[in-house]
Amino acid sequence: MRTRKLQLKKINRKTKKKKRRGEGERERRTTTLFFSCPDILKNPCSTLQHPEGIQDLFSSATRRLPYRRLVSCMDNIRHPFRGIIQDLKGRKACYKQDWVDSICSGARIMAPTTYIFFASALPVIAFGEQLSRETDGRLSAVEALASTALSGTIHSIVGGQPLLILGVAEPTVIMYTYLYSFAKRKPELGPDLFLAWAGWVCVWTALLLFALAIFNACNVIIKFTRIAGELFGMLIAVLFIQEAIKGVISEFGIPHNDDPLAIRNQFAWRYVNGLLGIVFSFGLLYTAMKSRRARTWPYGIGFVRGFFADYGVPFMVLVWSASAFAVPNGVPSGIPRRLISPLPWDPQSLHHWSVVKDMGKVSPVYILAAFVPAVMIAGLYFFDHSVASQMAQQKEFNLKNPSSYHYDMFLLGFITLLSGLIGLPPSNGVLPQSPMHTKSLAVLKRQMIRKRMVESAKECMKQKATKSQIYGKMQDVFIEMDSSPVSSTHNSFSSTKKELEQLKDAVLKSEDQESLEGGFDPAKHIDAHLPVRVNEQRLSNLLQSLLVGASLLAMPVIKQIPTSVLWGYFAYMAIDSLPGNQFWERILLLFVPPGRRYKILEGAHASFVESVPFKWIAAFTLFQLAYLLMCFGITWIPVAGILFPLPFFVLISLREHVLPKFFPPSHLHELDAAGYEEIVGRPSQMGLDCKHSSAEDDESEEQSDSEILDELTTSRGELKFRSRSTSIRDDKLHLQVFPEDGNN
């Protein structure tokens, strides 16, 4: 009898486990179907008002879901060029306006132009030096700058999305490093036919990009979720750190192809060069990080802070490069070491222009073998270019002109083909330069709109107009400057009125508060409630590309930059990319003791901190960390390392089909959210008292437009959603930041 009771208890426990497992699976399946079923998304209210039909709807959707995916895939194949044609029609309507807006901007357009020029040129010079080291001088900063200038000029004139910035990026350097490593080991190729074989790789890559664009593959961009983008960004940051460490260590060694008997290569002088390299690398890293955050400095006027925030990094490169000339006269020539690059007019820099002649010397076997790396490069460019374009036109920027993913991918194929035929490393959309470009143009547009609206308001105030008349005039000015040839007039007007509701309330209520606050101040009210708009035009991209090309003439000066300064710049690019990366923020959370987690709530923090239990945060972070280590390990494999983009394509499938089986849907949605939602924390009572006591002093200090947008964006250019903390009630802080399952 006792044995029978034990058996029944075991059966009951198994039944309950299966039941709970089945309920969880149904919940995950229901959540997935809810967001994938168009019938519910089109009219959710009417659907949920009839719960008896939901079961039938979900059951039919379950049967139709794989079929829908197959039909969607076949539909893209049956309608080639559909996406490209739609993109061309959409951009044709606003192409003329892109140039008109450029002219209307006047000299103001030079501010975002110079800003993005320095943001593009410095990384390209650093990548060129890395290419020169990895390819034994076959490619250098000259080719990297030429490729960036050529591709940027083409894209700015005939490209679909002019806000997208193109340039030679780290993925291209990595792939070309593997291509050279493979070619020099093969006697049929060798270093002499490296560029010719790389040309065939570019030919195959271009054909694959053409196919992806023609058959509407860009429709799958919605599957590029945060987990893939942040993992890729973290891998690039790790590779930057690796390159910086390798570079600093190499300062103590003898350079490749240098005379080991030279005085500068003696042990004592190599040691001096290494110490100088450490000083210059860490000096640039520290000063660049400080200047990057100059807008938060408590000292200095706004113009000085803005200058150092926008141009501080190139200024520090200039300062540390100039300090390299301060070494004593007795130091041998070549210490500290400087960039090794031929001049653009040297024969060594001219041979690659005729590389197409050598492509016929490559054997057919290696022409076919070039297809393998081409698949990896095409997939990498498809991912990187699409994400960069997506970040440049986030919906929070309120862009008026349509996107152009398909056509831009087709144009990228042409640029890749052209680059391969003339022996240049290909360029693609880059981060964070693309969203940085959009943000700088948002600052420009804000300044232009603000100036016109303030002038119209002051004009009305001189005429003793009422507050409603003042607001009506400001609204007319905003709508006039916000008009677009491709947007519907009615829809644009209604959406604009909705966005200006807060400004309207502030203007109309100012009449009641006139005696208390000194009347209506146009600049104050407009600054506080002006919606984000972007000056969508092509001239800034074109000018910055031409400036990059013109910098080739300055190669004699660029060659004076110490290599150790570039190693510090690599470290800066890695560290500066970490803030705003939620993967990095969750790694840091793993090291916060439970008793100190309440401190997280006192500052701005991501929304998942309050909505997801800590054990799920830790599990998701450890999964990403293990995946990152696997991807990084692949890059160390001598020949197979060229397959390092493959895990990112696999990750898209894992995210869609595997992870939902191990993580609750609501938690997975928070951890892999499409947007960056930040909750403004509540400081301690002492901080509140200090802030309240200095409120009058803060009012006298006005924030600049750039400072406002800096607060709303991450380092990678992603706009933040801000909300209030839900874990803080009254004056009490919850000690449990991450609620456990079943607890609040």
Question: Which DSSP string do the residues of 540-552 spell out, in sequence order?
Answer: HHHHHHHHHHHGG
Burial class (CB in 10 A: 0-12, 13-18, 19+), 683: middle
- Among 248-252, 480-484, 639-643, 660-664, which is the least confidently predicted range? 480-484
* Percent with pLDDT over 70 in the chain: 72
pLDDT of amino acid 638: 75
> Domain residue spans in the chain?
2-78, 106-440+537-576, 450-529, 582-733
Highest mean predicted confidence (pLDDT) among 124-133, 290-299, 687-696: 124-133
pLDDT of amino acid 420: 93
Q: Is 249 helix (H, G, I), strand (E, B) or coil?
A: helix
Q: Record the tokens describing residue 399, joined without a space.
A: 């862009």
- The amino acid occupying position 266 is Q
Q: SS3 sequence, 40-63?
A: HHHCHHHHHCCHHHHHHHHHHHHH
- Among 113-127, 397-411, 518-532, 680-694, which is the least confidently predicted range? 680-694
- Among 184-198, 214-228, 701-715, which is the least confidently predicted range? 701-715
Q: Are 155 and 411 a contacting pair, CB within 8 Å?
A: yes
Between residues 63 and 116, the one the model is more confident about: 116
Q: Record the tokens describing residue 543, joined without a space.
A: 């000018």
DSSP code of residue 740? P
* Pick from 118, 553, 577: nearest CA to 315: 118
* Pick from 306, 111, 293: nearest CA to 702: 306
635 has a pLDDT exceeding 80: yes
Sequence-ordered list of residues with C-beta below 8 angstroms from that of 680, at least 6 positions apart, any chain: 604, 722, 723, 724, 725
Tell me the CA distances in angstroms from 106 to 78, 109, 626, one per residue in order: 46, 6, 51
Tell me the CA distances in angstroms from 653 to 77, 270, 338, 656, one per residue in order: 21, 50, 45, 5
- Cα 719–chain centre separation: 11
Arithmetic mean of pLDDT, 142-156: 94
Euclidean distance between CA atoms 573 and 440, whole angstroms: 19
Query: From the CB of residue 24, how many other CB atoms can be counted at a distance below 10 Å?
Result: 13
Arithmetic mean of pLDDT, 536-550: 91
Burial class (CB in 10 A: 0-12, 13-18, 19+), 245: middle
Look at the chain and count its residues: 744
pLDDT of amino acid 320: 92
- Among 8-22, 269-283, 480-494, 642-656, which is the least confidently predicted range? 8-22
State the residue for tokens 């987990």: 227
Between residues 209 and 500, the one the model is more confident about: 209
DSSP code of residue 530? P
Arithmetic mean of pLDDT, 214-243: 84
Tell me the CA distances in angstroms from 692 to 249, 602, 688, 723, 733, one per residue in order: 51, 17, 6, 21, 20
402 has a pLDDT exceeding 80: yes
Arithmetic mean of pLDDT, 476-502: 60
Q: How confident is the model at residue 78 (pLDDT cuts 50, 70, 90)?
A: confident
Average pLDDT, the chain: 76
Q: Are 322 and 130 a contacting pair, CB within 8 Å?
A: no
Arithmetic mean of pLDDT, 363-377: 92
731 has a pLDDT exceeding 80: no
Tell me the CA distances in angstroms from 450 to 395, 526, 695, 699, 703, one per residue in order: 22, 7, 25, 19, 14
Q: Record the tokens describing residue 381, joined without a space.
A: 């460019």
Euclidean distance between CA atoms 215 and 220, whole angstroms: 11
Highest mean predicted confidence (pLDDT) among 39-53, 179-193, 201-215: 201-215
Arithmetic mean of pLDDT, 540-544: 92
* Pick from 303, 231, 217: nearest CA to 659: 231
pLDDT of amino acid 528: 60
- Among 5-9, 54-58, 78-82, 273-277, which is the least confidently predicted range? 54-58
pLDDT of amino acid 6: 52
Q: How confident is the model at residue 365 (pLDDT cuts 50, 70, 90)?
A: very high
